[in-house]
Chains A and B, each alone.
Chain A
């Protein structure tokens, strides 16, 4: 059951936006660096920009088709859009903002729908306030309620959390998850934050310079990124060029080591990677001796976050001394407390199950 189908091309200043994907009733996260064309993509779907070529359909309705010269205007698309800075009408109260799209309905239905949205978005009591008199989270929820009021056939969210303080994000995220759970129609969420993309979407589309770098179930893309670019965009810190050896092992050219993988590597992998939190430090010599892919390592430097330590390490002592780390590992503080006073070199374990290869 495909609800929203997009296949468009649009020439932008730096590159050409060229995407094809579809969305069903599960939320889709669109992840990409700033300037990757994410917002433009949403604007094309909403009808605020016109693609050069392609076709957009929503529930069998053709919204745009360049070959048939169809271009439904934004006001007739029935697509709810949540803007990055909410775009609330400053001269209208919360209730008037939410009811803006309901003018053609009878008065009683307008107020009934507004009231139900106010309670669903936990805004009851704030009806007479003006947007300026609301907190960031309340503004965001008002914008969400306003977009949902027209009962849109699809919902587009442009960086919905980026304008919020960190402490509000969790709260707003919960609101969005709640909304998605009951919405059951295509919902597209654009973000440059991979954790947000993962938490809020079921499906994931990775956009890089206007092109689809990956599209599918989020777990699969995070576990096995199809390319080194996607690996980087999904937060993988350790990527090395790779070369296959005759005995089935892989040479990690940037780390100067020979690695065994859990499965035979596919045909000629070009890169291999491992996520920072998968890098392990065996605590006993016994544990280390039995495993493959265990190497001596030296710590070049560390960087501390509230609960975790990032270790920048090198597999040879000279590089570490020169401050040129090759790998980045992340351990919890508790483990770091046990490790920190050990004499170097430590032993690092790149477990075969955590290593993945990429063809490009």
Chain B
């Protein structure tokens, strides 16, 4: 009986944990390409928070190669920082892109990357739309745009990697 109750308790707790979203972070996926790229889905976040974290994972579609600057655009400027996830001790065993000074450097076809975009609005975020833009530094053309929608349904939505 105890085993059954523990099983039910664990399942119930897990349903709650799977369902609940605090909404201060989300995951976005995209594909960088010379034709402007493609976000797999827009990111929905709730309004009213003072800090949002986006983890963006992406793949580079051939034949694109180059460096891309990452910015948060659209509407009133929102203070933001972008950080990469590079090796601490780089053994240089394989090619990989690096994140440096707001720019993903050395992207090659089929590369994968992960970056963190932290938005710190000066005031609680109102309903708004922003776009995380990846811009090729050589041509100054966008190679990926990821819409970020604050409010308007789907708050706290999270998609797995």
Tell me if chain B binds chain A. Answer: no
Listed in ascending order, the chain A residues whose CB lies under 8 Å from chain B are none
